[in-house]
Structure 1
């Protein structure tokens, strides 16, 4: 499995806070998937040194004015290069993997769907809803995924000129929100009559992955307990909640250390115990 981020930095130098956040994200992935590859998609200037333990840095033309569009173009190009059946999980850099990433059924593309209470999320009254959250996106190498991602890029070009969207985003949506509008434009109609777990879009099997498990987010200021992470695979620290990412990462580290110590003690006791039936 491959995990791929996208990050660009003004002036080419990654800020200290962003670097620390990426390091936490990479560490979470390495803990859950020791044998995976971690890749950074970026522009032609941003510098990444060896301290982040990335397996590869893949560069594409990108600007801040069109950063989300450029991210989708980079993702589509990456999917083009996947071997058949090779899996990639595209993540925002503020997403923490808290347990191994597994899926119940095979698919070509996986998108995360907001909880029912948030499925009508929109930037303003009257704006189109954005039921999908673009911070986690999954693809399995193959012709179906390649076609879907290419179509997503073409859809992005088309909706950026939409008068309805321009009413809310005068500068277009290539700089922000556009990826979620693309997913909504392509896949939103399948949510009209319920929340199917999988659909077929053209010839691609698309899995609707619940955000509660695969892209969970906490409310800024919320007190988080370890049991809040039960059933979560990836946690997304959006906006003001980014300050919680190191807190949760440290709590998980401590929990794993305690758990490992307990298991080691249990194994030691079993080894030291006399055989059953002995006095």
Structure 2
């Protein structure tokens, strides 16, 4: 919503204050011979700031003729680049506003709209940053090239000490300063809008659908499992009494354990003897236990 409301406004402010600028500088040359003086030398310049094409006439105090002088520098590239970025950003922001308001369903369909919007926002953020920096640097150079002191040095008559040269009017820089400020405001606006556009893409939604567990979350889950495992091994108080009774009964029956072992061993022996094959090779030997036949040698 911030993008929809403020982006077109600040884009208009940026390129309007730069593209519509008009500067005026006025100097005077007061020669020693008053008849050859020129008290109103007007120097006009503006967008696209090709100062090398700006010329003016200044008197030569030694004669009655004038000389034609030109300012120094060509700053059209930075100013035109800044203006172009502002115009295209304004057009795209208007298009995005229409899509957001009237075509919201088509914008979110198949996730193509948010992805395109995210890429374009990244591009415009970078372009605003580059163009604003270049324009701020060029603006500083323009101020230097149109400084009255620098302009008076170009005039041959002003180099002589007997002549007097002064600046009667200096250009106003408030609009160009505002354009540079609006440029950096657009940088902040578009860079801040990257996050809001990214939230509409499928990349952000995928990350929200499958969130990664943090180290603190893993540590807390491990502590829960450890506490659960320790609590599962704890016996209730009621079972402790039954356990003691079982222990006492086991101690009481300990005295009969030897007799039980003896009976069990004798039963095992008889069981083994019963498992032997029966062979009638000799006289039987009568015994109280099972019948066993022994061979006579």
* Alignment TM-score, normalising by the size of structure 1: 0.19
**Greater helix fraction, Structure 1 or Structure 2:** 2
Say which one has the larger Rg: 2
* Alignment TM-score, normalising by the size of structure 2: 0.18
